[in-house]
Amino acid sequence: SSILSAILGEMHKVEGQVIINGRIAYVPQQAWIMNSTLKENILFGKDFNHQEYMQVLDSCALKQDLDMLPEGDQTEIGEK
């Protein structure tokens, strides 16, 4: 985690350099969930695209979970 913090500029580097080709993403271990529907948490502000949305549900193995939720992907999640 220290090297990721250094790459992201969150940690002061004493010396050396960081060279990155392409894109890099950092996903912290602490989950962050909006107080909204499951669908809105998946979309996270992006426009709805049915094909992409279904691909996410499939990739994350969420389809069976949605069937068990009282309102499917419209179920409110997050802190109450």
Q: Which residues lie across from 77 on neighbouring strands?
A: 36
For residue range 56-77, what is the model confidence (pLDDT) as tens digits?
A: 999 999 999 999 999 999 999 9
Coil vs helix vs strand at 37: strand
Confidence of residue 5 (pLDDT cuts 50, 70, 90): confident
Q: Are 38 and 77 in contact (CB under 8 A)?
A: yes
Distance CA 62, CA 77 (A): 14
Look at the chain and report how many structural domains it folds into.
1
Q: Are 36 and 77 in contact (CB under 8 A)?
A: yes
Q: Which residues lie across from 76 on neighbouring strands?
A: 37
Distance CA 72, CA 43 (A): 15
The range of the structural domain enclosing residue 31 comes to 2-77
pTM: 0.62
